[in-house]
Structure 1
Amino acid sequence: MKKIVVTGINGLIGQYIVEPLKELEFEVYGIGRRDITTNDFNYIKCDINNSLQIENIFNKIKPEYLINLAWDLGIEHYVSNSNFELLTSSLNMLKYFKENGGKKSVFIGTCLEYKSKNIPIKEYDELNPTTVYSKCKNYLREISELYCNKNNIDFCWCRVFYVYGENENKYRLFPYIINNLKENKKVIINHSQLEKDYIYAGDAAKALVKVLNSQVKGIINVCSGKGIKLGDFATIIAKKMNKEHLLELHELETNEPNIMIGDNTKLINKLNFRDYSNMEDIIYKFLAEQSRAEQSRAVNYKIYIILLYKKLNVNTFLYLSKYRSVA
């Protein structure tokens, strides 16, 4: 089987990537920082900033393929110093990949490397990274591309646009809307006029696997090719939950680009990727699964209380029986 290392396996996109890789008979080695147990793939707990451990992992596995999803996307990731650390760590990892016979690597970029336009952005359009995050990503692309070209490694840089899905950081838009509505709290969208290109994380994972398993090299947009205003995005979710009255939509001024939509022509034509999920279907499914999970937890809690009550009654009976016999 073809060996592949995937970093950030527990992340928003990483959680969906194992199944499409296994369908193509890849032997998956996933790297993440959490303590998890799984039989679906070979899991390795490791921080990619730990250079020695990463070197040992690559020396042992000797993977032919690499997908680097790992990055810190916390609440202040646009300005965080972790961007510099991950830039360095990613380059070190590429070196270990090369030293152990690596053939093809797929690294993840961001749409924020681009200069914004009012029409869908193509891969060759002008760049204008302005944050620490987007600049470090762009530097990583430039150096990685140069390194791979010099060392005969096929390299793809996938610029992922906006992503939504299960298990997101609670501070991101999708969980913020859902969690507030569930708790009957107001959902305040200050820049509801902004139009962004959202792709379901499961679709993004499938697209990355398509890229990996192809002859395509260079830059490719991973996006839906369609824009949706943040206000409309929130409204779709609120309608599904029958809580539109809790929405508070504003159109305040912002330094963010009004429109950020990717051109997915290359993804469709060169990779024949058309496996896009319907946003409303995904949201409905997600809400239904959450509801079932909550109902299951409620039932389990009731069972626990009943068993605890019975146990307490038995213990009380035994205590009283013992007390009477002594008396």
Structure 2
Amino acid sequence: MADATIIDGKAFAAGLRARVAEGVKALKASHGVTPGLAVVLVGEDPASQVYVRSKERALVELGMNSFDHHRDADMTEAELLALIDGLNADPAVHGILVQLPLPRHIDSARVLARIAPEKDADGFHVVNAGLLSTGQPGAILPCTPLGSLLLIRDALGPNLRGKRAVVLGRSNIVGKPMAQLLLQSDCTVTIAHSGTADLPEECRRADILVAAVGRPEMVRGDWIKPGACVIDVGINRVAAAEPGKTRLVGDVAFAEAVKVAGSITPVPGGVGPMTIACLMLNTLTAACRAAGAPVPPEAVLGSGK
């Protein structure tokens, strides 16, 4: 059997960003509206600073407005909530993103719940989660699961009806919304986790396997059904062969899995680039809804019947 097709998330994300840029131009021309994302960063976490810079750079590249709110780590929770209230009320701001983690003295759940659901660019608000889980229109979809679904559709085709999907991981950020997206794509879905009996056998039943557990190379090659589509959401830093060096690996043992799967995402270069691209998509989607304009086709789910 030939090695799996490598799903090029970087190339797909570049194409999605180009389509978003065209959508931004069209919205400006038709409604005089420029999509705007407010990015709130509290503190000096180095990784968060890198993520925020990449998001802000992407906004500018795609012709959107970037509203940057960088605050010191001693900012109080009340001050942060007041900032969010102001952004909720600002018509130029269509999306709000609060970079996590927040300093320990701030309740992240309370902060995220304060964001207006229609401006929740990450798609984490309980209202958006509820709309997604009940199959109602209008949800802003979580970026990483949405990006994963777009890669699955690109690899297997738009019609996923009847596919057996296993989502390994049950987090609110990836696992649960990923399962809901696959359900609405007419897949038969199992959510597997640390309490699942005979986890390898459960994974071997999957036509589509999404690994999102945060454990380096946990999924071995013999866990995978021959020809399956494997989406590796994990980003884990482990020791490299060279002393003092590290390397990135996913939740799937890639060298083993690539010999069994039909298609597979690498780490890095798979799901990762899709997350920021989908954040840009969500910002455009929110702006289109606010203006009463058609939303991008990538943001529309199936019937859920």
TM-score after normalising by structure 2: 0.34
Which has the bigger relative contact order, CA under 8 A and spacing at least 6? Answer: 2
TM-score after normalising by structure 1: 0.32
